[in-house]
Amino acid sequence: MLTQPYYTDLQHGITAIDTGYLRPRMAASHLLVDAGRAAFVDTGTSHSLPRLLGALERVGLTRAAVDYVFVTHVHLDHAGGAGTLMQALPEATAIVHPRGARHLVDPDKLVAGTKAVYGKKRYTDLYGVLTPIPRARIHTVEDRDRLWLGNRELELIHTEGHARHHYCIVDAISRGIFTGDSFGVSYRELDTAQGEFIFPTTTPVHFDPVAAHASIDRILGYEPRACFLTHYSEVTGVGRLARDLHECLDAFVAMAGRFAGSADRRPRLQAAMFDFLSARLDEHGFERDAGRRHALLDMDIALNVQGLEFWLDKQVAVQKQA
């Protein structure tokens, strides 16, 4: 139930927060509350801070009630606001994959890489300021580590494929898994009477199709009632969605191979991916409005194609070394 423009109250003490990234319901943070204690899962950017703190106020909790800031991985639409949020939460610990911790302690490399892609002004507009987190306030989690939030046990599982510094959070109370980007993206605008529409995110630089397939299967192995995606929030019917993700991954890799040697590889891949997803939307019963489809899909397609190209180039480099 949408109770305010930015907040969606879900079951089992979970609130989805629209972080305000790019467009409404593009990216979510989730507030998890149990026995008077709280945690955030992903943070959005530094611009998201008022909405996250507002979510605490809505449920009547102080900032000191937050025990954890879970960062599923350090891509900036998920973790760009982690340092700013941590400054506002005196008792919180940032929970990070071991491979991602150094980027939160010293975000200069993340900042430089992102500015190289977007330019300084666009970077500032999107992400604001990346605030370092003191190393003493960061806890790194190994695969299958467990943490307690109030009376709630949470299991952290490493899930590569999208990023090598990615983990998911298994929550037995909700029978749900907070999946970051490991279980694809599913925008609520694409829902139809047939349910949710989903597709993988293959963004640079760590995309690995074998690991991505394995992570989807690992998530499915917990038999979750729901997955809570950063893009965007709760999905159910997880078995069907997992099959869709596997099919899309195979199709994306196949189209990358088909255009691998093309001089105009990028635009051909982008066009092929749009046509593929558009055909699936036809089957899904989504309105046949090309302009709306481009508005909802083009940014993801551009990033997915960059990731596929990076993966292709790595395969070529490995073959040359062999």
Domain boundaries, the chain: 2-244, 246-321
Asked if residue 109 has pLDDT above 90, the reply is no
What local confidence, expressed as pLDDT, does residue 116 receive? 77
B/e letters for 5-41, b = 16+ CB within 10 Å, e = fewer, are: ebbbebeebbbbbbbbbeeebbbbbbbbbbeebbbbb
- 291 φ/ψ angles, rounded to the nearest 5 degrees: -65, -40
| Cβ-contact 187, 296 below 8 angstroms | yes
Q: How many CA atoms lie within 13 A of 255 on its CB side?
A: 24
Torsion angle defined by CA atoms of residues 275, 281, 283 and 289, in that order, rounded to the nearest 10 degrees: -90
Q: 236-257: per-residue pLDDT in tens?
A: 999 999 999 999 999 999 999 9
The helices-and-strands tally (H runs, E runs) of the chain is 10, 14
What local confidence, expressed as pLDDT, does residue 2 receive? 42
| Type and span of the H or E element at 95 | strand 93-96
User: Which is it for strands 226-229 and 176-180: parallel, antiparallel or unpaired?
Assistant: parallel
- pLDDT class of 1 with cuts at 50, 70, 90: very low
Give the whole-angstrom CA distance, residue 291 versus residue 269.
19
User: Which is it for strands 66-70 and 37-41: parallel, antiparallel or unpaired?
Assistant: parallel
What local confidence, expressed as pLDDT, does residue 322 receive? 61
- pLDDT class of 119 with cuts at 50, 70, 90: confident
Residue with the bigger pLDDT between 108 and 233: it is 233
Residue with the bigger pLDDT between 46 and 2: it is 46
| Cβ-contact 20, 128 below 8 angstroms | no
| Type and span of the H or E element at 305 | helix 290-321
- Helix (H/G/I), strand (E/B), else coil: 161: coil
What local confidence, expressed as pLDDT, does residue 4 receive? 64
Spatial neighbors of 285 by CB under 8 A, at least 6 apart, are: 192, 193, 194
Stated pTM of the model = 0.96
- What CATH number labels 2-244? 3.60.15.10
What is the DSSP annotation of 255-271? HHHHTTT-TTHHHHHHH
What is the DSSP annotation of 167-227? EEEEETTTTEEEEETTT-B--GGG-BTTB---B----TTT--HHHHHHHHHHHHHT--SEE
Asked if residue 232 has pLDDT above 70, the reply is yes
Report in angstroms the alpha-carbon separations of 66 from 17, 31, 137.
16, 10, 13
Q: What is the mean pLDDT of the chain?
A: 95
- Helix (H/G/I), strand (E/B), else coil: 303: helix
Question: In the chain, pLDDT over 70 holds for what percent of residues?
Answer: 98
- Helix (H/G/I), strand (E/B), else coil: 297: helix
